[in-house]
Homo-oligomer: A and B are copies of this chain.
Amino acid sequence: MSLNIVPFVSVDNMMKLVLHLGPERVMTEIAAYIEADFKRWESFDKTPRVASHSDVGVIELMPTSDGEMYGFKYVNGHPKNTKEGLQTVTAFGLLAEVDTGYPILLTEMTILTALRTAAMSALAAKHLAPKGATTMAMIGNGAQAEFQALAFKAICGVSHVRLYDLDPTATAKCSRNLAGSGLQVTSCKSAEEAMEGAGIITTCTADKQLATILTDNMVGSGVHINAVGGDCPGKTELHKDILLRSQIFVEYPPQTRIEGEIQQLDPDHPVTELWQVMTGAATGRSDPRQITLFDSVGFAIEDFSALRYIHDQLETLPYSEPLDMIADPDDPRDLYGMLLRAQAKAA
């Protein structure tokens, strides 16, 4: 393919790719890409995402680079969108060559973000959850829920999910979608009920506010909490007292302190960086009675890993189309001449 043509993965092609390989395999492989990239954390150019906030939502750009490739994601977060029949989160992303600045992949990332978010959650839990935890409480049964359930099944060996959502139709939807997945699925009437016997608790709700999905008395010792929904300033899910009892693990502290559950804590409250747990430089779970908390907000390197994964898949899979996105004059200093030649050709 010539350099001025950028392969584009549409929503339709992303679905075909995911269905061709299977969502569990895709998430397992994306988790491996993320882990490989987290293990070379220091080779990345990192910056907190660039956010543009409005009263109703946020639009963010999340760039990063490993010196060879540059990637970024455009992503919005608009909780009120669902009421209008729109996605809360939509996204697309791009991968480029650092050496030339030329894009090499443009792709939808609404589906891909759902996959990488769940892959990241399960990857963190693989390192942090109590040994032998096979039951997960899923609090919040929206767009991300099934991906979380399947990633934990594939990567952590979870066999039983207990669902709860304020809105019972969301739980019914999630339960229906997971039928036939091989997971045991239990629909619950309260968060407390969902947490019965669960070694892993995933919270994934979408309100843009300081919510308290979990209060301190609800959480026993020895669990792993995967807090996915609290991911921007003013948006949290856990009561502060739970945080104070937990060993907290984060992706990139400068971003998480602004956006994560720990925005409720002092700016110097101790946290552990997940990449250090993966390289062995820091300790993960050190005690079976400990509460471990992954304060997930989503970091650019995870998107980079996901983009890299899709780019690699396209070497053998046909799920892209060519996009005429980069001007390609015969002589690069002759951009205007390209216009003139197009005019001559059309005349």
Q: Which residues of A contact B (CB under 8 A)?
A: 3-4, 8, 10-12, 15-16, 18-19, 23, 45, 47, 50, 52, 54, 56-59, 61, 63, 65, 67, 70, 72, 74, 76-78, 81-82, 84-88, 90, 92, 94, 96, 98-103, 108, 110-111, 114, 142-147, 170, 173, 176-177, 323-329, 331-340, 342-343, 346
Q: Is the pair B10, A323 in contact by a Cβ cutoff of 8 Å?
A: yes
Q: List 21 A-B contacts (CB under 8 A).
A: A10-B324, A45-B52, A52-B63, A52-B70, A54-B99, A58-B101, A59-B65, A59-B96, A74-B96, A76-B100, A78-B101, A81-B100, A82-B332, A87-B329, A90-B326, A90-B327, A110-B326, A110-B327, A147-B336, A173-B334, A177-B337
Contact partner of A61 among B72, B85, B111, CB < 8 A? B72
Contacts of A19 in B (CB 8 A): 339, 342-343, 346
A299 → chain B closest CB, angstroms: 15
Query: How many monomers of this protein are in the complex?
Result: 2
Contact of A90 among B50, B58, B102, B142 (CB under 8 A): B102
B52 and A335 contact, CB distance less than 8 A: no
- Contact among B23, B67, B173 for A54, CB-based, below 8 A: B67
Contact status B335-A143, CB under 8 Å: yes
Cβ 8 A contact of A102, one of B86, B99, B333: B86
List residues of chain B with CB within 8 A of the CB of A92: 103, 325-326
Q: How far apart are A347's CB and chain B's nearest CB, in angstroms?
A: 10
Of chain B, the residue at the smallest CB distance from A118 is B336
| CB <8 Å contact, B100 and A78 | yes
Q: Are B50 and A59 in contact, with the CB atoms below 8 A?
A: no
**Cα distance A333–B61 in the bound complex, in angstroms:** 23
CB within 8 Å for A108 and B326 given contacts A86-B102, A146-B336, A339-B15: yes
